[in-house]
Amino acid sequence: MSKPTFKISAVSYLNTLPFIYGLENSEVINQIDLQLDMPSDCAQKLLDDKVDIGLVPVAIIPQLKEHYIVSDFCIGAEGKVNTVLLLSDVPLNEIEEVQLDYQSKTSVNLVQVLAKEFWGISPKWINAKAGYEDKIAGTTAGVIIGDRTFNLSKKYKYTYDLSEEWQKMTGLPFVFACWVANKKIDNQFLNSFNQALAIGVENIEQIVLTDQNTQIKKQELLTYLKDDIAFNLDEKKREAITKFLAYLAVKVQV
């Protein structure tokens, strides 16, 4: 058996089920070493040149020596995403410190942009460690992302959906992660790669029917993948990436 041509890191959350399905049900799977990681690890692997392509948080794009957005698919949202949240027992103006999710890079940057540019608050930022969810109480809020957020908001009095707050501030959708290469990749492979991703996005109902997750009910998962996540990286989303990176004081061509 021939050695895989490309190493690829993808996020291991439920929102990537269509991408994983598409890759695993196409010939592309024979050309790749597919690794499933939390977003921060996807980012680090691409930065360290341990993979060739990653579904990475957009906030790390400026840190790459070379970057190429290699797909018209992404993990984005147009309004509420429901899995990137600031959770709190008190309203925004009473929050004194915020625990920042160690699994995320973009969300950590996004909450700080919103705090400065939109909410007008300046809490103490704390780089959280595993188990920090238990510290969210009183005037300590926390950013939590991904599958851990399902049904979690019910525990807290205040829930702020970061994608929704971004849309309120800018009028734009938000892109949490997109497919980025740290080197030029053969166009023939990229065409096949994108066709595989499209297979997954076009077959969400089938994916949900066969999925074995125990975190949420199938109807909730279908709603999440069909309504909450916006997979197409269109011009508005590219504009959103540029604007977001500008807030981080970095100009990058996307």
- 26 pLDDT exceeds 70? yes
Residue 94 binned pLDDT confidence (cut-offs 50, 70, 90) = very high
100 & 48 share domain: no
pLDDT of residue 250: 47
DSSP state for residue 249 in the 8-state scheme = T
Domains identified in the chain, total number: 2
The residue among 161, 165, 174 whose CA lies nearest residue 239 is 174
- Supply the mean pLDDT for the chain: 92
* CATH assignment at residue 70: 3.40.190.10
**Stronger pLDDT, 18 or 40, i.e. the higher one:** 18
Q: What percent of the chain has pLDDT over 70?
A: 96
Is residue 253 in a domain? no
Q: Which tokens in the block code for residue 194?
A: 């994108």
147 with 191, same domain?
no
**What per-residue confidence (pLDDT) applies to 152?**
73
Cα–Cα distance for residue pair 11/100, rounded to 1 Å: 19
Helix (H) or strand (E) holding 191: helix 187-201
Asked if residue 65 lies in contact with residue 177, where contact means CB atoms within 8 angstroms, the answer is no
The residue out of 170, 204, 222 marking a domain boundary is 170
185 lies in the same domain as 134 = no
CA 242 to chain centre: 16
pLDDT value of position 129:
87
Is 252 within a domain? no
The proportion of the chain whose per-residue pLDDT surpasses 90, expressed as a percent, equals 80
Question: Using an 8 Å Cβ cutoff, are 228 and 83 in contact?
Answer: yes
Range of the domain at 88: 84-170
Residue 146 within any structural domain of the chain = yes
Cα distance between residue 76 and residue 48, in whole Å? 25
Cα distances (angstroms) measured from residue 191 to each of 54, 65, 91, 188:
16, 24, 47, 5
pLDDT of residue 112: 94
Instruction: Return the structure tokens found at 42.
Output: 């996807």
Domain boundary (170, 196, 222) is at 170
Do 114 and 68 have their domain in common? no
Q: How does pLDDT run across 28-65, given as a tens digit for each residue?
A: 999 999 999 988 899 999 999 999 999 999 999 999 99
Report pLDDT for 1: 44
Looking at 56-60, 85-89, 147-151, 230-234, which range is the least confident one? 147-151
Q: How far is CA 254 from CA 159, 226, 242, in A?
A: 31, 25, 7
State the residue for tokens 């996540």.
229
Establish if 96 belongs to a structural domain.
yes
pLDDT at position 253 over 80: no
Q: Residues 158, 177: one domain?
A: no
Q: In terms of domains, do 165 and 177 share one?
A: no
Same domain, 153 and 112: yes
HSE-CB for 43 with a 13 A CA cutoff:
18
The pLDDT of residue 68 is 97
Alpha-carbon distances, residue 221 vs 55, 64, 147, 227 (angstroms): 20, 33, 11, 10
Instruction: Verify that 35 and 88 share a domain, yes or no.
Output: no
Q: In terms of DSSP bridges, do strands 6-11 and 32-37 run parallel, antiparallel, or are they unpaired?
A: parallel
Q: What is the pLDDT of residue 252?
A: 36
Strands of the sheet with 6-11, listed across from one edge: 32-37, 6-11, 53-57, 174-181, 68-77, 230-232
Of 124, 152, 170, which residue constitutes the final position of a domain?
170
pLDDT score of 3? 66
Q: How many other β-carbons are positioned within 10 Å of the β-carbon of residue 122?
A: 10
Residue 1 in domain:
no
Residue 210 in any domain: the answer is: yes
88 and 160 in a single domain? The answer is: yes
* Residue 254 located in a structural domain: no
Tokens in use for 62?
Answer: 């400026």
Same domain for 108 and 230: no
Residues 217, 165 within the same domain: no
Residues forming beta bridges with residue 9, ordered by sequence position:
35, 54
CA–CA distance, 50 with 226 (Å, rounded to integer): 32
- In this predicted model, what pLDDT tens digit does every residue of 152-191 receive, in sequence order? 767 899 999 999 999 999 999 999 999 999 999 999 999 9
The answer for residues whose C-beta is within 8 angstroms of residue 120's C-beta and 6 or more apart is: none
Q: Do 150 and 96 fall into the same domain? A: yes
pTM for the structure as a whole: 0.91
